[in-house]
Structure 1
């Protein structure tokens, strides 16, 4: 049972971890009554927690239907990368020759995660790394544009847990990305990084 202090936030965190670790499959309904019984909280608490995740884009809710995890298809991912790539290119050009300490720190936290860490922790550090790079550019509009893709990106990363069973590969790719940016020649690496992530179908 969750403790009454910040119960909505605690429940939202618990559900977020389950979604981002792939424990809850896309399309699985999340009835309020069942969640209330499972976590030992009141239905209004469940309703608020679900609303928070809907606002984040991690859940979807339609009229007369329980909240559910939206499906992100390989076609969705291809389109997501189509839109993300020019934003990442802008970032790489703007940061050429620089290191971003916050991105380096996120990478080290990812590398230091225990072997049995939930995939949601890997997703969190992955997102923190890329967000730190985008924010370091200093363009509020670029941050807003990138932020609009955050929910779909996080949901897409759920599928990558099958591609990156050895987390060291993911760490190595991002270390190469940060080193290439610091070296001033990251465009090719950015293209390869995004293309490689979705080059095989991680959802099947």
Structure 2
């Protein structure tokens, strides 16, 4: 990999490395339980170990990486109970986000959501599954932004890494994109009850389909 030069990028080195490692986790290149060695990552990115250490710390805060006492940093594993707990929290927070978004969305907000769904459909048609997953995650993040509730946003922030990880395990992407279109329509209707109900159904469906461990 080419050296990462901070002065040539808008992001700090630690964020560039965090994003790269996070994508590898999402794409399965780093499986649950895999060791992430600072020295090796620093050599690959051609940087010192400090930004790598900072990137791994950020991923720990997202719940994607753990640091057992004797093993250094490893990719986290979610067991069945943790997955169930995460879905419970996701249901409570995302249903509220969709309810608020239906009340507060502007025409520009709806246009952004529509663009994300359209781009996801186009990416899927091109066979770009990684891009489709990323756009679907971005759709959920945009709904949270539209909800415009600082306490809700601060509650979701520490969970976003793990929630995006959940999104990546959806296998029926055409159906997922269609469901996001339905959720978009519910938010655009301005009916908070309809949006909340659609969100609850959407989450419950994938909760039932989810594997016991990831």
Alpha-carbon contact 1:72-1:156 (below 8 Å) kept: no
Aligned length: 199
Question: Take 1:10 and 1:181, find their aligned partners in 2: how far apart are those partners?
Answer: 33
2:61 to 50, 55, 71: 55
> TM-score, normalising length from structure 1?
0.81
Q: Offset at 1:199?
A: 1.1
Q: 1:66 matched to which residue of 2?
A: 72
Q: Distance in 2 between matches of 1:49 and 1:82?
A: 28
Q: CA deviation at 1:126?
A: 2.4
Give the match for residue 181 of structure 1: 187
Q: 1:133 maps to what in 2?
A: 143
Q: Using a 3 Å threshold, how does the CA distance of structure 1 residues 36 and 95 change in structure 2: closer, same or farther? A: closer
Compute the displacement of 1:194 (Å): 0.1
Q: Distance in 1 between matches of 2:208 and 2:25?
A: 23
Counterpart of 1:113?
123
2:206 aligns with 197
Corresponding residue of 2:33: 27
Q: TM-score, normalised by structure 2?
A: 0.78
Equivalent runs, 1:148-159 vs 2, <5 Å:
148-159=158-169
Q: Stretches of 4+ moved more than 6 A in 1?
A: none
Q: Which runs of 5+ in 1 are unaligned?
A: none
**Structure with the bigger percentage of helix:** 2
Relative to structure 1, is the Cα distance of residues 91 and 33 closer, same or farther in structure 2, using a 3 angstrom cutoff?
Answer: closer
Structure-1 residue corresponding to 2:9: none
TM-aligned CA distance change 1:96 to 1:60, over 3 Å: same
CA deviations over 1:69-97 (Å, ceiling 9, x no partner): 11122322222221222223323333336
C-alpha distance in 1, partners of 2:174/2:87? 23
SS in 1 for 2:85: helix
